[in-house]
Structure 1
Amino acid sequence: MKISKSQQNLKNISFENVSLNDFLSLENNMNLPISLFTNSNCLNTLNKIIFFDTDFKNVELKAIESLNVLESIHILYCINLNSDFIQQIISFTKPFKLKSLFMKTKIQIRLLESLLQKSCDYLENIGFKLSMYKSGQLEPIINQCTKIRYFELRRTNNQMSFPALNLIKNFGKTLNYLSIEFCRYSHVSSNDIRLTSSNIFLKLGEILPSRLEYLSLSLMINPRDFNTFLFKIRNIIIKKLLIENLMKEGDLMPYIKEHVMKEKRVRYLAINGGVSENDIKEF
């Protein structure tokens, strides 16, 4: 904290892996080190705040409104984004310029709706576990956000695969980075993972924008579905393509060689497993 206060012309600040209440004794019983934002070193220079894996329990955010040139706030995998936290944001007289929201835990749907209504003009990056919510809950809320560039989707299931695809479709031409990750958990059956992955692959190629900077897929990939997917995206330019096959069977390389390497539509390619030294040289 003393280091932050001593900085001149501070432009960016990041809180990582902390409970903000840990700073109580350093801030004369104020709830949060964000009170340092009222310091003259920050008022007219600080333009970016990043919260990563931060605990917002009993946090007072009002000092953020004192910042005159703040351009973006990024909330990444934080906890206790509860009613008290979001009500403070709603009460701001200035815009709450939330640029990134990656959810580690579920935010109640009414609170999430209020938060996005306050921030939808600024939000560009969003990620969450789709299995946190029921089908039909998220689409009307997130579709308010018309500037989404980065979408990270984790732990979906077969019931939620079509709502997920609808979100991707509705993000339209603004979408530039897409990550779909299906980590395997003991309470999810292999059949559900396979079916979800298949549904995503069969439809995803029809709704992607014409150009992507980044596409990362970690799914149970059936080679036949993968071949169909690559054929459907044959006219899409992808700068970075990352593939992880959670199904430890089936060879994807023949289809990658045919549709990706031969056509040279991907600049950077990363594949987890099943790649030989000759394959790398060929690429």
Structure 2
Amino acid sequence: MFESIELLLQKSGSYLENFGFQSFEIDEDNNNRSEYHLLELESQLLESESLLIESITKYCTKIKFFELLEFNNQNIYSAFNLIVNTEQNLNYLSIDLSYNYGTCDDELSSIIVLRNLGQILPFKLEYLNLSLSIDTFDLTDFEIFLKNSQNTFIKKLLFYNIIEGTREKMGQDGMINYIKKYIMKEERVRYLAFQNNPDNGELFYLEDEVKEFKSHNITIQKYNDLYISFFNMIKND
């Protein structure tokens, strides 16, 4: 099957501009499979995912929109290579853990993204969405991303922290302060959405903060209003 997909990418990859990728899932409720067979299948799927992303990177060099859903610690590095390889055309990027939250090591995967993504972004992006599990008790990795991405102008920037908790527990104010320091004062974003877990509100509803960002030519919007899904991108393309 992989050979057929690779052949298809060889023939048509140069025409593909919108790409969405989601990690394969294993039906662990299947009682006919032993734990050993499940682990073996998981290993095979991880290898197939990495090979597939490598083929996409090799043959699809004109990608403008890339959405990565439910990635794991193995294939994220292959996705980084894809971002570097398509930086001349890449304009929309979404990295999202929220679709299947809690089924993998979300916090470690998020740390890997925050530590490695900023320095490989193109100099200009129309859209960047990061839906991650961010440790709000230690915002070192969040600050690393903001520092490393300072050379990138992002028209629409979205942050969604999928960890549950109150505003204080979530460390929302600390995250906003870092955003002010590295994004607002540099005026390197035009539209911004920042949301913690849905029950805890978002930056859009903090009137004083919205006014402060507005004074730096940054418009705060609701996360869902600014969010662009892969399917909407295809429909409107």
What TM-score do you get using the length of structure 2 for normalisation? 0.68
Q: Deviations over 1:213-237 (max 9, x none)?
A: 0000101123221111011111110
Which residue type is aligned with residue 149 of structure 1?
A: K
Greater per-residue strand proportion: 1
Greater per-residue helix proportion: 2
* Aligned equivalents of 2:133, 2:8: Cα separation in 1: 34
- SS of 1:178's partner is strand
User: Is the aligned partner of 1:220 residue 2:133?
Assistant: yes
Q: Which runs of 5+ in 1 are unaligned?
A: 1-107
User: Is the aligned partner of 1:146 residue 2:58?
Assistant: no
Which residue type is aligned with residue 277 of structure 1?
A: E
State the number of aligned residues.
Answer: 174
User: Is the aligned partner of 1:134 residue 2:38?
Assistant: no
User: Is the aligned partner of 1:110 residue 2:3?
Assistant: yes
* Aligned equivalents of 1:119, 1:200: Cα separation in 2: 29
- SS of 2:15's partner is coil
> Shift of residue 111 of structure 1?
2.7
Q: Deviations over 1:30-56 (max 9, x none)?
A: xxxxxxxxxxxxxxxxxxxxxxxxxxx
- SS of 2:88's partner is helix
**Alpha carbons 2:61, 2:86 under 8 Å: kept:** yes
2:92 aligns with 177
What TM-score do you get using the length of structure 1 for normalisation? 0.58
**Alpha carbons 1:180, 1:217 under 8 Å: kept:** yes
> Shift of residue 250 of structure 1?
2.5
**Alpha carbons 2:54, 2:78 under 8 Å: kept:** no
1:160 aligns with 75
Q: Which runs of 5+ in 2 are unaligned?
A: 26-44, 165-169, 197-201, 214-237
> For 1:64-143, what aligned pairs fall within 5 Å after superposition?
108-131=1-24, 133-135=45-47, 136-142=50-56, 143=58
> For 1:1-283, what aligned pairs fall within 5 Å after superposition?
108-131=1-24, 133-135=45-47, 136-142=50-56, 143-183=58-98, 185=100, 188-189=103-104, 192-222=105-135, 223-248=139-164, 249-251=170-172, 252-273=175-196, 274-275=202-203, 276-283=206-213
* Aligned equivalents of 1:259, 1:167: Cα separation in 2: 26
* Aligned equivalents of 1:208, 1:202: Cα separation in 2: 12
> Shift of residue 247 of structure 1?
2.1
**Alpha carbons 2:54, 2:82 under 8 Å: kept:** no
Which residue type is aligned with residue 154 of structure 1?
A: L
Larger Rg: 1 or 2? 1
Name segments (4+ residues, structure 1) moved above 6 Å: none
Q: Which has the higher contact order (CA 8 A, sep 6+)?
A: 2
Q: Deviations over 1:17-76 (max 9, x none)?
A: xxxxxxxxxxxxxxxxxxxxxxxxxxxxxxxxxxxxxxxxxxxxxxxxxxxxxxxxxxxx
Q: Residues 280 and 187 (structure 1 numbering): CA distance in 2 closer, same or farther, change over 3 Å?
A: closer
Q: Residues 235 and 224 (structure 1 numbering): CA distance in 2 closer, same or farther, change over 3 Å?
A: same
